[in-house]
């Protein structure tokens, strides 16, 4: 779809780029000639991802350890990247999520999601955007959202709220920063199975609904190269007039309900306990690998 030099001269930071969708988007950007920076909290995961993608693509990929909930950590990361040369693009992809009945959420549970998805994306945009404005460099910001920005979703309320906030940031900043040549867009994927998301959203196989491919009009999950191609298009030159948009890539899912977790209302307390235990086991495994945060 694109040539190997579509993104030559582009230097793109993708948060949470060491796993899942972020890793496959990184692969796509590298195949088109971009230099890529990824970040996350687990050094071993980032290191392995860089080794694998550089061997597979021959492209230039670097990592930074960073907790995007901490604005100082972001500033240090962005500063060190700009010392090697300015970025041309930013992809807000890092996120946190788990399914839970909202009545069972503690303030800390809500904050864990909000601080990553809403605050983390905003802090990163601010850190990169203010440098672009000061240095008079144009740039492309793309946030990885979800179709719940239009539909909402039960049982993942903090995620739906925080993603919707970033949808609003996308529209607002497209206007405020248009005069600096900074484009601000977003994508809203439907289901693209990853270990990280499925461990937190369908841990026991009982939480179908949003994660069920049969309810997608195209009767299949998204394929990673499809999302990587959309991200490449939004980071490439040629359609700079495109800004302030959130583009769905979901096989028509949100136009043909249920693309949400509304159906989980049928689960009982025992189901929810089993789900919570399973999510906790996945989160603890990831935490034991963290270098920060």
Ligand X SMILES: CCCCCCCCC/C=C/C(=O)SCCNC(=O)CCNC(=O)[C@H](O)C(C)(C)COP(=O)(O)OP(=O)(O)OC[C@H]1O[C@@H](n2cnc3c(N)ncnc32)[C@H](O)[C@@H]1OP(=O)(O)O
Which residues sit at the interface with ligand X, rule CB under 6 A?
A: 95-98, 100, 104-106, 108-109, 112, 146-147, 159, 190-191, 196-197, 200-201, 210-211, 253, 259, 276, 279, 283, 287
Closer residue to ligand NDP (CB): 108 or 134: 108
- Find the shortest distance in angstroms from Cβ 174 to ligand X: 22
Smaller CB distance to ligand X: residue 8 or 292? Answer: 292
Q: Choose the one of ligand NDP, ligand X, none that binds residue 22, judging by a C-beta under 5 to 8 angstroms depending on kind.
A: ligand NDP
Partner that binds at residue 234, options ligand NDP, ligand X, none, CB closer than 5 to 8 Å by kind: none
When CB distances are held under 5 to 8 angstroms depending on the partner's kind, the choice from ligand NDP, ligand X, none that residue 104 binds is ligand X
For ligand NDP, the closer of residues 33 and 250 by Cβ is 250
Residue 59, contacted partner among ligand X, ligand NDP, none, CB below 5-8 A by kind? none
Task: Provide the CB-side half-sphere exposure for 52 (13 A, CA).
Answer: 13
Residue 16 or 129: the one with the smaller Cβ distance to ligand NDP is 16
Cα 89 from Cα 234, distance rounded (Å): 9
Nearest alpha-carbon partner for 231 in 34, 19, 9: 34
Partnered with residue 247 across adjacent β-strands are 187
Contact of residue 258 among ligand NDP, ligand X, none (CB under 5-8 Å per partner type):
none
Taking the least distance from each CB to ligand X, the nearer of 6 and 260 is 260
Binding site for ligand NDP (CB under 6 A): 15-16, 18-22, 39-42, 45, 66-69, 93-96, 116, 120, 144, 146, 189, 191-192, 194, 196-197, 286, 293
Alpha carbons 149 and 201: distance in angstroms, whole number:
17
């Amino acid at each position: 779809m694109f040539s190997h030099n579509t993104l030559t001269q582009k230097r793109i930071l993708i948060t949470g780029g060491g796993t899942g969708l972020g890793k496959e988007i990184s692969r796509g950007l590298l195949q088109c000639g971009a230099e890529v920076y990824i970040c996350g909290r687990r050094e071993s995961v980032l290191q392995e991802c860089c080794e694998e993608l550089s061997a597979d693509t021959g492209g230039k990929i670097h990592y930074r350890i960073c907790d995007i909930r901490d604005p100082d950590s972001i500033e240090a990361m962005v500063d060190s990247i700009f010392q090697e040369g300015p970025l041309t693009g930013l992809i807000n992809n890092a996120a946190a999520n788990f399914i839970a009945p909202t009545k069972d959420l503690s303030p800390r549970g809500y904050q864990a999601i909000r601080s990553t998805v809403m605050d983390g994306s905003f802090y990163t945009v601010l850190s990169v955007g203010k440098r672009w404005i000061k240095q008079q460099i144009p740039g492309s910001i793309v946030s990885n959202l979800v179709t719940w920005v239009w539909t909402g979703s039960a049982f993942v309320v903090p995620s739906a709220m925080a993603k919707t906030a970033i949808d609003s940031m996308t529209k607002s900043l497209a206007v405020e920063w248009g005069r600096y040549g900074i484009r601000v867009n977003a994508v809203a994927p439907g289901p693209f199975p990853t270990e990280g998301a499925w461990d937190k959203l369908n841990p026991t196989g009982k939480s179908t609904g949003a994660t069920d491919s049969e309810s997608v009009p195209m009767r299949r999950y998204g394929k990673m190269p499809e999302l990587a191609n959309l991200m490449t298009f939004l980071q490439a030159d040629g359609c700079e007039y495109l800004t302030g948009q959130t583009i769905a890539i979901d096989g028509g899912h949100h136009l043909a309900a249920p693309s949400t977790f509304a159906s989980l209302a049928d689960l009982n307390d025992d189901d929810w306990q089993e789900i919570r235990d399973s999510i906790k086991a996945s989160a603890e495994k990831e935490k034991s690998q963290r270098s920060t945060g």
